[in-house]
Amino acid sequence: MLITLCYLYLWARWGRRPAALVRATVQRLRASHCSFTFCGAAVQPSGARVCLSRGGRVFCVGESEFPIWTHLLKIEPFRLRILDIQKYRDSIDDLNKWALFLVSPFILEAEHIAFVTESIWVQGETLQRPSSSSESVVRWSDCCLPLACRPGDPYQLIAEASVDNFTKLGVAFMEDRLQMADGLVPQKIVSVHLQDSTLKALKDQASNKQAQILQQNPEPSVESKPEPDVMEHVGGDDLKVLGAQPTEGKDGTSGREPAGEGDVGVGSIEHCHLHLSSCHECLELENSTIESVKFASAEKIPDLPYDHNGTLEDVADDICLDREGRKVNITGRAPNILFYMGSASQESLGRFQEVRSVLADCVDTESYTLYPLSRESALRDPWSDNCLLLVIATREAIPEDLSQKFMAYLSQGGKVLGLCSPFTLSGFQVTSKSVLRETVQNLVFSKADQTHVKLSVLSSGYVYEEGPGGHLSLGKLQGHLENEDKDRLIVQVPFGPRGGEAVLCQAHLELPPSSSVVQAQEDFNLLKSSNTRRYEVLREILTTLGLNCDLKRAPALTPLYLLPAAEEIWDPLMQWLGKHVDPEGVIKSSKLSLKFLSSYTSNIEITPSALPVVTDVESFLSENFNLQIYRQNLQTKRLGKVILFAEVTPTTMNLLDGLMFEIPQEMGLIAIAVRQTQGKGRGSNAWLSPMGCAVSTLLVSIPLRSQLGQRIPFVQHLMSLAVVEAVRSIPEYQDINLRVKWPNDIYYSNFMKLGGVLVNSTLLGETFYILIGCGFNVSNSNPTICINDLVTEYNKQHRAELKPFRTDDLIARTVTVLEKLIDTFQDKGPNGILPLYYKYWVHSGQRVRLGGLEGPEVWIVGLDDSGFLQVQQEDGEIVTVHPDGNSFDMLRNLIIPKQQ
């Protein structure tokens, strides 16, 4: 009985109220010279008083007479040191190795606590995984504001938090529920007393160092020459406009096409304030790619190992296989079909278009994007992770180094389709039969279900034969000619234990009957009669290789509807419209014409360049967009007040083109679509827009001479942050793990991309007119992961009943949050929004490599005053990384040059 009572007392004293105990202790003693430490029991400070012990970890307080861990950060000449009353001096390190996260000196908020978190890097299978507990995992970045960091081992982060959040962090640390950035495991949390001069000195140190680098690496400025009053910035991959050639637009503006991408050198820093009135090249606005992502649902995401030092093949082996050894796509990018066409030439480009067109007719193009793969990219880039099928369609011999890359991809579970290519596998050889070259032959094709398809095909003049000693176990797909030798033109070859396989074909299944190779009318007739069966064979091959070939008819374009977000805006809007349409009710722009009608009938033609706009609000009805729900969730003064809505449209980025410069700012325009047929990403990237994706383009006007007008690259950060905050600011949804990834992506944790932002801007007079395209996945589980998947998974894990989202309410909430963020930025500058941005971003304490797996290792520090990413090299040098020439590969921990 006594033992039971003692146990109950201890459970009540320590088990139920550790947070209350820690909080009370901190509140009582924070004004004294005491310091609070959370650490392992074995390394607790000598002389400290232990207030709480749990699972080998302790919370202790330094004695008031001898505060062992009372840290006073102060500046000595070029040194930052820790001082305690026992005259123990412990050098933190040179100021050169410390860097601020914020862009101006920081003032510690009243009643907040500053502290240092020491962490170590853990790799591979020992990656930190919080122990199971009835309590939820606590993320370090959710509870504090990072101030400065010192890369190294241990990795040190100075941060500040409220008493409650400091308590929450400490208790989570003791219960092994504290989670930091990938690979970081916290070892100690120690409160410190900060002097303002410390962080100011750090700021000055970074600024001086940066100025010295800029002086050492002067770059001549080549200014482009726009029209006197108008300068347009079109969405390209490159921030630079050096060498751009102006082109006269129909509306009198001068446009520019990017001169091409340049790599950002590690040693150079393009880090300066925007001087927009005199420096035209500083005006180019960064755009970014919106891609659909991972071919998986939230509950199927595997745990990812962490290894900073592994090779490309090692990491691919770890992250690209499911539990049964099959290759899966977990990179957070759109699942790709890549085409290797041989050496770069006009002929190979034409062949790519030819082959791509045929395969696009076979597969579900809403699930995949189809890209060419150059030899250079195949040898350099980690393309294999998100490649579901590699198509080799060159007649050229495959170089040995490239062949090894392709074989490595197969060994990881990759799928290869060879189309009239010399590429083959060990045990097979490609043999020439000139009598068959470019002739029409009868082919018998065996399907996976052992049924046969007979068709006429155009032969390449080559056949497959077993090589010396070759006794391969072939797959079920096979195709042979109806001749005496039964020459094999199609073979399916499994490869390796991880599900890799290749289907190799020497019949021109990729060529249409009208191909220039086909000369005789008789041959054309034979191939034309077999055309349906040619597609049947292609789809059978592609389906066997794991692709979805369920054909869906491209949706027909629908009319636009002009909708007001508030009743009182309707009459002024119609009055304005009456003054700006031509006698036929049309407003034209360089990209399209909008014809405003009171009603729509089916005989009115809709084309990508001519769209009808219905102004009868009473006739509007959509299953996918509820105007009342949008109105209820939109709480703005300006933004998103006038809606152009379409069920299906080419792209929302063009819909506002003819209206944006004339409409009053209080009638903020937004274009919303359920589906897009020609969605745009950065450069030549495709933007997949399936049902359930929130797709919109918002017009925002920013004065040139304002806080944000001088830091336009922040627009993309504000938009991606608005999407995350729109969800996580809702009570009970704060733990839905949405994050922002620099420069403009929305992520699920740091695993998978959910959406992104595309920004185009035009400077007219003293005002930026900015079109912000945003797409994020709300309810489209396939082929992407979506926000509602995360809500469903959260409900299962926590036995909660959170409701799923609609696209209309989230678009309205996002616009509302964005307006608040813009107002805050205009009032307080970057520091007004950076605390929230750092709370949600995925990069705190992240260690990456610049340029590739062999590039220099750096630590991510934060954003500079212009919104560009800052990284710190091992020698302490701060390097600014511009998003125009770089992409961020999360799973590889790489910042790699982006290619056209």
| pLDDT tens-digit map of 226-247 | 333 333 333 333 323 223 333 3
Q: How confident is the model at residue 261 (pLDDT cuts 50, 70, 90)?
A: very low
Residues 717/720/722/728 CA torsion (nearest 10 deg):
-120
pLDDT: which is higher, 568 or 305: 568
For the chain, give the number of residues: 900
- Tokens 């500040």 identify what position? 160
**Tokens of residue 229, six digits:** 């009053």
Which H helix or E strand runs over 8? Answer: helix 2-10
Q: Whole-angstrom Cα distance, residue 177 to residue 138?
A: 6
Token representation of residue 829: 């500058």
Q: What is the 3-state secondary structure (H, E, C) of 467-500?
A: CCCCCCCCCCCEEEECCCCCCEEEEEEEECCCCE
Fold of the CATH domain 336-545 = Rossmann fold (3.40.50)
Contact (CB, 8 A) for 557 and 652: no
Distance CA 176, CA 128 (A): 10
User: What are residue 292's phi and psi, to 5 degrees?
Assistant: -75, 160
**Cβ(175)–Cβ(55) under 8 Å?**
yes
692, 800 in Cβ contact below 8 A? no
User: Where is average pLDDT lowest: 270-284, 718-732, 832-846, 848-862?
Assistant: 270-284
> Mind giving me the DSSP string for 404-450?
HHHHHHHHTT-EEEEES-S---TTEEEEE-GGGTT-EEEEEEE-TTS
**Which has the minimum average pLDDT: 278-287, 355-364, 471-480?**
278-287
Q: What is the mean pLDDT of residues 82-99?
A: 42
Asked if 779 and 789 count as a contact pair (C-beta separation under 8 A), the reply is no
355-367: per-residue pLDDT in tens? 988 888 888 777 7
Interval 658-686 mean pLDDT = 79
Task: Give the mean model confidence (pLDDT) for residues 184-212.
Answer: 67
| DSSP helix/strand/coil, 465 | strand
Enter the tokens of residue 149: 């960091």
Judged by DSSP in three states, 201 sits in helix
Q: Quick one: three-class SS letters along 663-696?
A: CCCCCCEEEEEEEECCCECCCCCECCCCCCEEEE
Summarize the confidence of residues 651-658 as an average pLDDT.
Answer: 88
Cβ-Cβ contacts under 8 Å for 1 (sequence gap 6 or more): none
- What one-letter code names the amino acid at 62? G
CATH number corresponding to 560-839: 3.30.930.10
Range scoring the smallest mean pLDDT among 14-23, 607-616, 703-712: 14-23
Give the residue from 389, 354, 357, 358 showing the smallest Cα distance to 373. Answer: 389
Residue predicted with more confidence, 293 or 534:
534
Asked whether the predicted pLDDT for residue 542 surpasses 80, the reply is: yes
β-pairing, 72-76 with 79-83? antiparallel
- The rounded distance, in Å, linking the Cα atoms of 229 and 41 is 68
For residues 7-31, average pLDDT: 68
**Are 362 and 545 spatial neighbours (Cβ–Cβ below 8 Å)?**
no
Q: What is the mean pLDDT of residues 167-185?
A: 86
The CA distance from 130 to 136, in Å, is: 10
pTM > 0.85: yes or no: no
> How far apart are the C-alpha atoms of 170 and 177, rounded to whole Å?
10
> Helix or strand or coil: residue 65?
coil
Kindly list the distances between the CA atom of residue 101 and the CA atoms of 117, 200, 664, 845, in Å, as whole numbers in the listed order: 15, 12, 38, 11
Indicate the pLDDT class of residue 270, thresholds 50, 70 and 90.
very low
The C-alpha angle 796, 798, 800, rounded to 5 degrees, equals: 80
Q: Residue range 34-61: average pLDDT? A: 85
Residue 815: is its pLDDT beyond 90?
A: yes
Please check the confidence at residue 6 and state whether its pLDDT lies above 90: no
- Mean pLDDT, residues 520-533 taken together: 77
| 99-100 and 145-150 strand pairing | antiparallel
| pLDDT band of 688, cuts 50, 70, 90 | low
CB 384 within 8 A of CB 415: no
Percent of the chain with pLDDT over 70: 70
The domain locations on the chain are: 17-41+67-124+137-204, 336-545, 560-839, 846-897
Position 203 scores a pLDDT of 58
Check: CB of residue 423 under 8 Å from CB of residue 410.
no
Mean pLDDT computed over every residue of the chain: 75
Token pair of 447, please? 């399907």
> 68-77, 797-806, 811-820 — which is least confidently predicted?
68-77
- CB neighbour list of residue 146: distance below 8 Å, 6 or more residues apart: 101, 157, 158, 159, 838, 844, 862
Q: What angle do CA 723, 673, 589 make, to 5 degrees?
A: 110
pLDDT computed for residue 446 by the predictor: 92
